Amino acid sequence: MTTAPGAGDAITVDAGRVDVLHRLALAVRPIDARTTGTAGGVRIGREAPAPGGPVRLLESHGAAGWVLRYGSGTGGVRSRVVVLRLDDPDRRFVPRRFRLPLWTLAELTGADGRPPTAAYVPAASRLLRPWLLPGVAYPVTGGVTGLRLRVTHRGAPVRWPRVEAFGAGGMRVGWAHGDEHGQVLLLVDGIGALAPPTPSVFDVVLRTAVPDPAAAVDPEDPLADLVVEDLPRSQAPPTDQDLDNPVLRGLALPPGYRSSTRDVLRSLTVGRVLPATDLPHT
pLDDT band at 18 (very low <50, low <70, confident <90, very high): low
Distance, in Å, from the CA atom of 251 to the CA atom of 245, rounded to the nearest integer, reads 9
Distance, in Å, from the CA atom of 66 to the CA atom of 180, rounded to the nearest integer, reads 25
Whether the per-residue pLDDT at 11 is higher than 60: the answer is no
CB 161 within 8 A of CB 151: yes
- The Cα-based distances of 29 to 7, 65, 86, 126, 127 in angstroms read 24, 4, 11, 11, 7
Q: What is the tens place of the pLDDT at every residue in 110-157?
A: 755 555 455 678 999 999 999 999 999 999 998 999 999 999 999 999
pLDDT at 49: 81
Distance, in Å, from the CA atom of 206 to the CA atom of 275, rounded to the nearest integer, reads 16
CB 31 within 8 A of CB 49: no
Helical segments of the chain, H only? 105-109, 240-243, 246-249
Question: Which residue, 174, 182, 180, 196, is CA-closest to 268?
Answer: 174
pLDDT at 7: 46
Q: What is the tens place of the pLDDT at every residue in 169-213?
A: 999 999 999 999 999 999 999 887 766 777 899 999 999 999 998
